[in-house]
């Protein structure tokens, strides 16, 4: 798997208007998220509609509370492992919100300036699928190869960068299994 001009090879492209230029061009952090729309339901086009400002608030009562949000992620990994890319990795997606990252002795804010955001279709209590872990490992290996400032110790969760506000991807995300899959990709190369 490769990244060409900021786009992941094999990912379905669905450009989001919710993006802009990175101030310094730095890509040095990967933030993992989870999303399901409506909450606890998987499948459908609601996530894609949210990230492209086309979510219809009349479709579900919950949508009225989020329809005006202007958010995006670089990539969504669906339950079947399909990757949908909304923002090229070189651009700034609007995913981390108010958040903080301890970068050595310094604390940094405005994480969207230097972070990549990957959304996993899921919630905090439902186990993620093997297809999602494999797709995430392949994607992460490609990102680590492409961006030298991004290292495996700079992969985190939304919960860790915004702990009082967010808890995703939650306890259902198996960090050890993800790291094992990532290690396989790093040792064996891309399949």
**How many whole angstroms from its chain centre is CA 85?**
10
Q: pLDDT tens string for the chain (191 positions)?
A: 899 999 999 999 999 999 999 999 999 999 999 999 999 999 999 999 999 999 999 999 999 999 899 999 999 999 999 999 999 999 999 999 999 999 889 999 999 999 999 999 999 999 999 999 999 999 999 999 999 999 999 999 999 999 989 999 999 999 999 999 999 987 555 54
Report pLDDT digits (tens) over 76-131.
Answer: 999 999 999 999 999 999 999 999 999 889 999 999 999 999 999 999 999 999 99
Q: Quick check: is 119 catalytic?
A: yes
Q: How far, in Å, are 7, 40, 62, 135, 139 from residue 181 at the CA level?
A: 22, 26, 35, 9, 11
Domains of the chain: 3-188 (3.40.80.10)
Q: Which of 26, 41, 119, 191 is catalytic?
A: 119
What is the CB-side half-sphere exposure of residue 67 using CA atoms within 13 A?
Answer: 12
Classify strands 19-21 and 91-93 as parallel, antiparallel or unpaired: antiparallel
What pTM was computed for the model?
Answer: 0.96
| DSSP-assigned beta bridge partners for residue 29 | 115
């Amino acid at each position: 798997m490769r990244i060409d001009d900021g786009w992941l090879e094999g990912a379905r492209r669905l450009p989001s208007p919710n993006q802009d230029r990175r101030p310094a061009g730095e890509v040095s952090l990967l933030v993992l998220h989870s999303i399901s729309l409506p909450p606890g339901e998987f499948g459908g086009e609601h996530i894609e509609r949210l990230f492209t400002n086309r979510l219809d608030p009349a479709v579900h009562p919950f949508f009225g509370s989020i329809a005006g949000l202007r958010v995006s992620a670089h990539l969504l990994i669906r339950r079947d492992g399909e990757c949908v890319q909304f923002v090229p990795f070189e651009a700034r997606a609007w995913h981390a919100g108010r958040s903080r990252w301890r970068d050595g002795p310094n604390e940094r804010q405005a994480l969207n300036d230097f972070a990549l955001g990957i959304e996993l279709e899921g919630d905090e209590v439902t186990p993620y699928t093997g297809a999602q872990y494999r797709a995430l490992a392949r994607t992460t290996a490609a990102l680590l190869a492409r961006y030298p400032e991004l290292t495996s110790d700079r992969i985190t969760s939304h919960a860790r960068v915004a702990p009082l506000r967010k808890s995703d991807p939650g306890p259902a995300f198996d960090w050890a299994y993800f790291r094992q899959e990532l290690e396989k990709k790093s040792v064996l190369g891309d399949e």
